[in-house]
């Protein structure tokens, strides 16, 4: 196989070979080594293609390894931000001694005279945008489309970090998606529920039809001190941010940190155009989430349904300590018959609130008209009893009566179905005792 690689050694095109399954670089020809700063073949041993070729910490989102077929070439174009070159790529796969190899031959198709000029960048904008959209649309989900397009934009705009912020129910801002260049510290976890006043000036500008372009962070030190401190601690010096609209409503913003200062206007234009695609992907994501929610939740109480219960049990299987709390809303039929179904629905909702107050950190489900369930994976037996007692104590305040049957086990030896049956049996015992003590003949 080494003789085959040697055939490429003095080609004027860039050639590299990597293991399809491990991403480990196997070979670079002379020109490729020179472009990526290596003197000898030994220097690339043990390095991953995505680390060297793209400066990524993980396999590239647009990697086409799984599409490659032995004996066929896949041709495509790509702007490599590490090299700063537009490349025409020809990829294929070779198999030898049980290993699969990706072979890529790249031809530099950049216009040498205009390379790096702003004019050329604007001429290429449409092609760059179309390529980014094409790559992201191949993703199986809208969530992945958003992640891919952020990675693509980050590299195309030579930024350190790209991100999406969305308004949450409190009116604050959540960093929902993020891409960071290799060696850059992620900030997503630190930027949840950012107080509205931090980005207040930005939203004021958005409402006036303006984008945010910062060429030097020090310029906003006096005019926007809250945002200055927020950006300063993230090591941001330049920045471009544009709003995201759902109709006339601003639903958030997205942007890029530390793009080259001379490219700020170009970056702003690029982000504005791509914003329509970002919003479209968010809209598709929200639709999928809503369909999933409807498929797994009870429409009245918003508790989980039987499908959600089965998923919870599957995920919790093997957990040490598992509690089942089976609740039956006493008197629901009487309320429906005498006061109407609207009053009955309100009774169900109050019962659901009662369950949430004590068991919101576990799985809550409505599995019948008057039957509610709390499944508690990882709970201790004593804690389960205490929560049930607090829930029962709150029934009078909520004007709710529920019969409650519970069961707890340390291990999963009995299985969930037997646990559920035992909890239901105990619930019916308590229900019968309630009617007996109240002197109520349930037959009437």
* Domain locations along the chain: 2-108, 118-294, 306-438
Q: Which CATH superfamily is domain 2-108 in?
A: PAS domain (3.30.450.20)
Predicted local confidence at residue 366, as pLDDT: 93
Predicted local confidence at residue 246, as pLDDT: 87
Predicted local confidence at residue 5, as pLDDT: 73
| Alpha carbons 64 and 50: distance in angstroms, whole number | 12
Tens digits of pLDDT across the chain (444 residues): 556 677 788 888 899 999 999 999 999 999 999 999 999 999 999 999 999 998 888 888 788 998 998 888 898 888 888 888 888 889 999 988 889 999 999 988 775 434 444 445 555 666 666 777 777 777 788 888 899 989 989 988 899 999 999 999 899 999 999 999 999 999 999 999 999 999 999 999 999 888 999 999 999 999 999 999 999 999 999 999 999 998 889 999 999 999 999 889 888 988 988 888 899 899 888 888 877 777 778 889 889 988 889 889 988 887 889 999 999 999 898 898 899 999 999 999 999 999 999 999 999 999 988 999 999 999 999 999 999 999 999 998 999 999 999 999 988 767 888 899 999 999 999 988 887 876 666 554
Nearest partner of 189 among 205, 171, 202, 175, judged by Cα: 175
123-129: long-range pairs with CB below 8 Å, 24+: 124/79, 124/86, 125/266, 125/269, 125/270, 125/273, 127/77, 128/79, 128/156, 128/270, 129/270, 129/273, 129/274
Predicted local confidence at residue 415, as pLDDT: 80
pTM for this model (two decimals): 0.53
Predicted local confidence at residue 112, as pLDDT: 47
| Alpha carbons 420 and 425: distance in angstroms, whole number | 9
Predicted local confidence at residue 440, as pLDDT: 66
Two domains, one topology: 2-108 and 306-438: no
* The length of the chain, given as a count of residues: 444
User: Contact 285/146 with Cβ under 8 angstroms?
Assistant: yes
User: Contact 77/83 with Cβ under 8 angstroms?
Assistant: no
User: Contact 332/347 with Cβ under 8 angstroms?
Assistant: yes
User: Contact 108/86 with Cβ under 8 angstroms?
Assistant: yes
Q: Under DSSP, is residue 357 helix (H, G, I), strand (E, B) or coil?
A: helix
Predicted local confidence at residue 88, as pLDDT: 86
Please report where in the chains the tokens 């019948």 appear, as a residue. Answer: 368
118-294: CATH topology is Beta-Lactamase (3.30.450)
Nearest partner of 63 among 13, 16, 110, 23, judged by Cα: 23
Predicted local confidence at residue 178, as pLDDT: 96
Q: How many CB atoms lie within 10 A of CB 319?
A: 14
306-438: CATH topology is Alpha-Beta Plaits (3.30.70)
């Amino acid at each position: 196989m080494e003789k085959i690689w040697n055939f490429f050694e003095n080609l004027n095109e860039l050639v590299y070979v990597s293991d399809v399954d491990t991403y480990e670089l196997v070979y670079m020809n002379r020109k490729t080594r020179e472009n990526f700063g290596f003197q000898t073949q030994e220097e690339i041993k043990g390095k991953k293609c995505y680390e060297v070729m793209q400066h990524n910490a993980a396999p590239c989102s647009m990697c086409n390894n799984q599409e490659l077929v032995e004996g066929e070439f896949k041709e495509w174009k790509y702007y490599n931000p590490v090299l700063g070159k537009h490349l025409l790529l020809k990829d294929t796969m070779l198999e030898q001694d049980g290993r699969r190899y990706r072979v890529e031959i790249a031809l530099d198709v950049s216009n040498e005279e205009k390379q790096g000029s702003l004019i050329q960048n604007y001429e290429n904008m449409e092609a760059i945008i179309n390529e980014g959209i094409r790559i992201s649309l191949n993703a199986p989900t809208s969530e992945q489309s958003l992640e891919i397009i952020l990675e693509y934009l980050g590299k195309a705009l030579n930024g350190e970090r790209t991100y999406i912020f969305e308004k949450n129910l409190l009116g604050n801002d959540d960093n929902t998606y993020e891409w960071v260049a290799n060696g850059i510290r992620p900030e997503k976890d630190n930027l949840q529920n950012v107080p509205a006043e931090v980005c207040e000036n930005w939203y004021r500008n958005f409402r006036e039809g303006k984008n945010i372009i910062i060429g030097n962070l020090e310029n906003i030190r006096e005019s926007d001190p809250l945002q200055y401190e927020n950006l300063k601690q993230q090591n941001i010096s330049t920045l471009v941010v544009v709003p995201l609209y759902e109709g006339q409503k601003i639903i958030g913003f997205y942007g890029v940190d530390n793009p080259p200062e001379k490219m700020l206007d170009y970056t702003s234009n690029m982000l504005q155009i791509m914003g329509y695609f970002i919003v479209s992907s968010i809209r598709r994501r929200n639709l999928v989430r809503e369909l999933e929610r409807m498929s797994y939740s009870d429409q009245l109480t918003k508790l989980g349904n039987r499908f959600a219960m089965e998923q919870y049990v599957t995920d919790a299987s093997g957990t040490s300590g598992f509690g089942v709390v089976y609740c039956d809303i006493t008197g629901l039929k009487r309320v429906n018959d005498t006061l109407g179904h609207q009053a009955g629905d309100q009774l169900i909702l109050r019962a659901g609130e009662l369950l949430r107050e004590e068991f919101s950190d576990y799985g809550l489900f409505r599995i019948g008209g008057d039957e509610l369930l709390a499944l508690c994976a990882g709970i201790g037996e004593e804690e389960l009893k205490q929560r049930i007692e607090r829930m029962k104590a709150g029934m009078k305040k909520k004007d709710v009566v529920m019969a409650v049957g519970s069961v707890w086990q340390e291990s999963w030896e009995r299985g969930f179905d037997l646990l559920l049956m035992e909890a239901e049996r105990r619930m019916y015992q308590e229900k019968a005792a309630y009617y007996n003590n109240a002197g109520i003949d349930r037959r009437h």
